[in-house]
Amino acid sequence: MNNLLLESSNQILTITINRESKLNALNRETLSELHEALINAFADSGIKGIIITGAGPKAFIAGADISEFAAYSVDEGKQLAKDGQTNVFDFIENGSKPVIAAINGFALGGGLELAMSCHIRVASSSAKMGLPEVSLGLIPGYGGTQRLAQLVGKGRALEMIMTAEMVTAEEAFRTGLVNHVVEPEQILAKSQEILGKIISRSPFAISSAIKAVNAGMTQGKNGYAIEIEEFSRCFGSEDFKEGVDAFLNKRQAKFNGN
């Protein structure tokens, strides 16, 4: 791949957006490669969790590559947002495996939208985040208007979007935009630590938990009903049998994700 670095270790795939000279800005090719990498990772039984980060010390992803869509029409703009949401951002959020955004620097525009589509966010203490699209006469188009409001509340989301101002990592943590803030050199280790805990649990149950939580955030879906459905499905899994047997026999469960 031309724009991504992929590294697998201890059942964790680390995807690094490798366009440091462009502050890892998202262009169409990068989004296509990211979609392909995610398809493969979700299908690979040897991968239990994913970390997405950016190359270099400055940026996680400093937005979309504006030069690619500067001359787009209304219809082309609609297709750009639709393709991005379907193939990458919604694809991450609804994936069957946990995805952590390791925000190592600036996360702006599409970069923050990508981070928000991940299930957990770990930020470097030096990171800054924002949605500056209104400065270009645009609004976020990769789900940012929806996910930011879900994470920090309607009022804070509207202020961030309408002022186009950045927030610090500490402010992002205080408002619930990120889960953890660590020193820059600790960001990957912290992300790996969290995933290590998650992947020691039942993969079947983790996938069900993602579905149930997402349902409650999706218009037209009854999160409580989906929770009942996913809860009941767990009873038919090999993971449930293993988990209960391990508990009753006072041993460590060994899950296969069956």
Domain range annotation of the chain = 4-199, 203-248
Task: Determine the Cα–Cα distance for residues 184 and 45; give it in Å rounded to an integer.
Answer: 31
In degrees, rounded to 5, the angle at the alpha carbon of residue 90 between the alpha carbons of residues 86 and 93 is: 160
Tokens 């939208």 map to which residue?
A: 113
Hey, which bits of 114-225 come out as E strands? Answer: 120-124, 128-130, 167-168, 180-182
Q: Catalytic residue positions?
A: 113, 133
Decide which of 3.40.50.10470, 3.90.226.10, 3.40.50.11540, 3.40.1390.10 is the CATH code for 4-199.
3.90.226.10
| C-alpha torsion 181→40→215→131, nearest 10 | 50
Q: In this structure, are residues 104 and 53 in contact, taking their beta carbons and an 8 Å threshold?
A: yes
Tens digit of each residue's pLDDT (9 = 90 or more) over 73-83: 999 999 999 99
Tens digit of each residue's pLDDT (9 = 90 or more) over 30-87: 999 999 999 999 999 999 999 999 999 999 999 988 888 888 999 999 999 999 999 9
Q: Does the structure show a pLDDT above 60 at 246?
A: yes
Q: Element (H or E) spanning 101, and its range? A: strand 99-103
Give residue 65's pLDDT: 85
Task: Determine the Cα–Cα distance for residues 73 and 188; give it in Å rounded to an integer.
Answer: 40
- What length is written for the chain? 258
Beta-carbon contacts of residue 13 (< 8 Å; ≥ 6 apart): 6, 7, 37, 41, 44, 47, 49, 50, 51
Q: What is the pTM of this model?
A: 0.95
Q: In this structure, are residues 224 and 218 in contact, taking their beta carbons and an 8 Å threshold?
A: no
The mean pLDDT value of the chain amounts to 95
Task: Determine the Cα–Cα distance for residues 175 and 167; give it in Å rounded to an integer.
Answer: 10
Give residue 258's pLDDT: 42
Amino acid at 199: I
Coil/strand/helix, residue 50:
strand
Tens digit of each residue's pLDDT (9 = 90 or more) over 116-131: 999 999 999 999 999 9
Tens digit of each residue's pLDDT (9 = 90 or more) over 208-220: 999 999 999 988 9
- Average pLDDT of the segment spanning 100-122: 98
